[in-house]
Amino acid sequence: MAHTPQAKYRKDYQAPSFTISDLELTFNLFDKETTVTAVSTVKQLSDSTSLVLDGESMSLKEVQINGEVWSDYQLTDTGLTINAMPGDCELTIVTQVNPEENSALEGLYKSGGAFCTQCEAEGFRRITYYLDRPDVLAKFTTTVIADKNEYPYLLSNGNRVEEGEAESGRHWVKWQDPHPKPAYLFALVAGDFDVLRDDYVTKSGRKVDLEIFVDKGNLDRANHAMVSLINSMKWDEERFNLEYDLDIYMIVAVDFFNMGAMENKGLNVFNSKYVLANDQTATDTDYLGIEAVIGHEYFHNWTGNRVTCRDWFQLSLKEGLTVFRDQEFSSDLGSRAVNRINNVRIIRGPQFAEDASPMSHPIRPDKVIEMNNFYTLTVYEKGSEVIRMMHTLLGEKAFQQGMTLYFERHDGTAATCEDFVSAMEDASGVDLKQFRLWYSQSGTPKVTVSSEYNQDEKTYSLTIMQLTSPTLDQKEKQPLHIPFDIELYDQLGHVIPLQCNGLKVGNVLNVTQEQETFVFENVTSKPVPSLLREFSAPVILEYDYSDDELIFLMSHAQNEFARWDAGQMLLAKYIKSNVANVQNGGAVNIEATVVDAFRGVLLSDKLEPAFIAEVLSLPSHNEVSGWYEAVDVDAIADVLKQIKVTLAKELSDELSAIYYSLNQSEYTIEHSAIGQRALRNVCLSYLAHTDGGETLVSAQYENSNNMTDTIAAMNCANMAKLKCRESLMEDYSNKWSHDGLVMDKWFTLQGTNPSSDALNIIKKTMDHSAFSIKNPNRTRSLIGAFLNGNPVQFHDKSGEGYRFAGEIIRELNSSNPQVASRLIDPLLKYRKYDAERQALIKEQLESLKSLDNLAKDLYEKVNKALES
Ligand code: TRP
Ligand code: ZN
């Protein structure tokens, strides 16, 4: 390492000594030498006379103050310090950057033939020297100059105010954004596109032009994004009373993008994965993902842009809240139960795993080396759960009053998480003092419940204990305020009203102590408790349910989530006991009553197909691995496979009857149609493991008229190692090799290939004409899928999988550190594996650590992992 990267601490926040009220940018775009002129109106806020600007990876051409060349400055690796500042002034900085060579995809870069930018979190400092911090808000005016033929569309934030011709076939457009914003929300796009246009009339009657820019030829894949955008605008008016505030809203789809999408003011830039869809190229999951991400970025216009973050430690202020909003949007438009189930799977799987890893951090981190490393499941998904808990404690009405107060107080400014909680507290009168610990404490609380029924007193008591184990970042833990939603059922499945100390109580218990007992009165027979309903807090629940109680809840619990959860708990019991059996050389065994419980759900005509599909979906290998301190990769894989095969054999008649009954002749994306396909394809995933599997799967592939059923068939062929796998893969690749986005599904199937030859095939697949390691979507699909979704092959004892991961991460360390840093996550968890595997993984971490050009992103993670 040239320099040891420095950590920043939340506690060290200081208000800026200068701010910038207006910024005039001029971009003269050329592939290798783009010149950026930045004219800032600087205001002095303290008596400091040195202005410290952030900047990296560019060359400085000129500095002027009030129109005079200024030479009293120092240039460092991380920025530019201008000395002897004359107080308030006009500062001009000219820089040059190289978009074509920018493979990190931060700052200004080229994606395909287009120029685009990505400035969050700290990318603007690769464009010009600036106060690149979210609490400096300026009004931006941006002029873009480029070749007219190659780049007919020149876009930036706000409103188009002027345009004209320039010499040598060039032209220019000037944009003005009336809303002051931090630099991370700046965007510029220049290119040639097809444009889908529509408009939306807001509830106060203003007309907003909507424009979606896609690569030429892709117009027939932009409709769903437009429908989703209009639905988002309408939903935010109806549910949150929030209206759009500019006359134009643009979305550009690009193929090279490190993340999902970016909420730049008035000009969202999207990974094309979250825009492009038609029935031949996209699955139902893709359609739902587009709806969620379009919603997410749109909702940021208020929660993120109108009120932004004071500093990056507050990231969850905008991300947790905006994820909560997009989850509610999807739930209001589709199935609430299915959405909740999928969100909870992410928390219990990868988010809990992050809490248990060397990267564990609170939703509001205290220490950061590379900000890009903190766009995490914890900040986003657990952050959303924290907002959801406040929603549970306050109720919808008071929560919305809290939102209103939050905007009254903070619109147009940069705020903190504390500001948000205060607004909620002040608007509702609910005491959130102890609740605030959710922002500062990392790790997953374990909540252990025991119960006792007293026949004579007719009382039922629940004793609830909470314990959060120490994490690498934080040794001491305190009890949290946990909203604990419960219901009690009598033997007939009737709800028993909750009464404590002679008073009726609601379903949500306020658990605040390390241990406390709740005594319920007037309970005339021993009840079955439904605990942590709706997953009312992001905790691990431990309660010693019998099989019979879980089977009872699977059919009698009042809400769908609780039924699903009972099914998952029942499966978990059998997965755990069978992993122990297999480790002791025994066989996998499942009780007939358990099989019957799943049969009952499968045959229910009262339940939605989409919900039945979720009940029948086994937890992933990753989720199961999270239950163990020491993971036995092969035993877990073996048990999951055998449970699947057993259920397939026992339920084959029912599965096959349902499979045939759910055949649809036309493809529509109505929620009921999506649900039917989901259930039908879950049935197929079981039937693939039975005698007729080969025939059924090939027939579905042959007859499919949509991508959902095509990929489902291929996935079955892959997971069940069917003979037809090769021919289906070949047919698909012949059909789609010209289209990287569609090929990503195929790359994922290669990445998750359960064959023992998978790694060799993956290495060859890297030569496929549609593959490029420079494209993050391709890399994540093939290599990310191998590292995260192919546990048996990746963790093969030979260590070949680890060596391969190491090689790829070393390569990406130089070209795209952000992608490298996401890929490394599975290696950070090496302590969960046996001694030989630990040694093999550590070897790769050590080799990365010794690189002399190790990026900050990897430096932070590798060091934490080796420290653990
Ligand atoms: N703010 C974006 C979102 O969640 C996240 C994002 C997009 C991002 N691109 C990025 C974060 C690049 C870091 C780097 O909606
Ligand atoms: Zn976001």
pLDDT in tens, 394-448: 999 999 999 999 999 999 999 999 999 999 999 999 999 999 999 999 999 999 9
Please identify which of the residues 297, 354, 534, 650 carries the catalytic annotation.
297
| Angle in degrees, CA 581, 583, 585, rounded to 5 | 70
109-113-114-117 Cα dihedral, nearest 10 degrees: -20
Looking at residue 769, its pLDDT comes to 98
Mutate to test the pocket of ligand 1, among 102, 105, 111, 118 (most ligand atoms within 8 A of CB): 118
End-to-end CA distance of the chain: 21
Distance CA 238, CA 232 (A): 10
Pocket of ligand 1 (CB under 6 A): 118, 120-121, 258-259, 261-263, 296-297, 319, 372, 375
Sign of the torsion formed by the C-alpha atoms of 532, 534, 539 and 541: positive
297 is catalytic: yes
**Whole-angstrom Cα distance, residue 485 to residue 511?**
10
Type of residue at 96: Q
Q: Which ligand is nearest to the CA of 257?
A: 1
Q: What is the pLDDT of residue 506?
A: 98
**Ligand 1 atom at minimum distance from 372 CA:** 13
| Separation CA 777–CA 822 (nearest Å) | 12
Report the sign of the C-alpha dihedral through residues 389, 393, 394, 395, in that order: positive
Three-state secondary structure call for residue 461: strand
Which residues are found with C-beta within 5 Å of the ion, ligand 2? Answer: 319, 322
Residue at 769: amino acid letter: S
CA distance 185 to 119: 7
3-state helix, strand, coil in the chain (%, to 5): 45, 20, 35
- Looking at ligand 1, which residue's alpha carbon is closest to its atom 10? 259
Alpha helices, DSSP H, located in 247-347? 284-299, 315-333, 336-346
The ligand placed nearest to the CA atom of residue 107 is 1
Ligand 1 pocket test, candidate residues 105, 258, 275, most atoms within 8 A of CB:
258
Residues of the chain scoring pLDDT < 70: 1-2
- Interatomic CA distance for residues 860 and 841, integer angstroms: 17
Q: Which residues contact 573 (CB under 8 A, 6 or more apart)?
A: 545, 547, 550
Alpha-carbon distance of 336 to 183, in angstroms, equals 36
Separation CA 845–CA 851 (nearest Å):
10
Which residues lie across from 64 on neighbouring strands?
A: 69, 92
The pair of three-digit structure tokens given for residue 355, joined into one six-digit string: 């809490």
Residues 6+ apart with CB under 8 A from 217: 194
Q: Which atom of ligand 1 approaches the CA of 818 most closely? A: 14
Chain centroid, CA 697 distance in Å = 31
Alpha-carbon gap, residue 663 to 169, rounded angstroms? 57
Q: How many CB atoms lie within 10 A of CB 670?
A: 9
- Write the DSSP string, 774-800: TSHHHHIIIIIHHHHH-HHHHT-TTSH
Q: Identify which of 432, 429, 342 has the alpha carbon closest to the alpha carbon of residue 387.
A: 432
Compute the distance from residue 375 Cα to the ligand 2 centre, in Å: 9
Token pair for 400: 């919305």
Angle between helices 740-751 and 707-719 (to 10 degrees): 20
Mark residue 657 as left, alpha or beta (left: phi above 0; alpha: psi -120 to 50; beta: remaining). alpha
Please give the pLDDT value at position 3.
74
Give the residue among 838, 352, 360 at the shortest CA–CA distance from 624.
352
Cα dihedral sign for 338, 344, 345, 346?
positive
**Residue 553: its pLDDT value, please?**
98
Substitution site in 259, 322, 372, 378 for ligand 1 pocket (most atoms within 8 Å of beta carbon): 259
> Which of 357, 356, 325, 358 has its CA nearest to residue 343?
325
Residue nearest to atom 5 of ligand 1 (CA): 262
Element of type H or E holding 154: strand 153-156
CA-nearest of 118, 707, 58 to 375 is: 118
pLDDT on residue 2: 57
Q: Is the dihedral of CA 148, 151, 155, 156 positive or negative?
A: negative
Pairing relationship of beta strands 188-191 and 114-118 according to DSSP bridges:
antiparallel
| Residue bearing tokens 């959902």 | 708
Question: 250-281 pLDDT, tens per residue?
Answer: 999 999 999 999 999 999 999 999 999 999 99
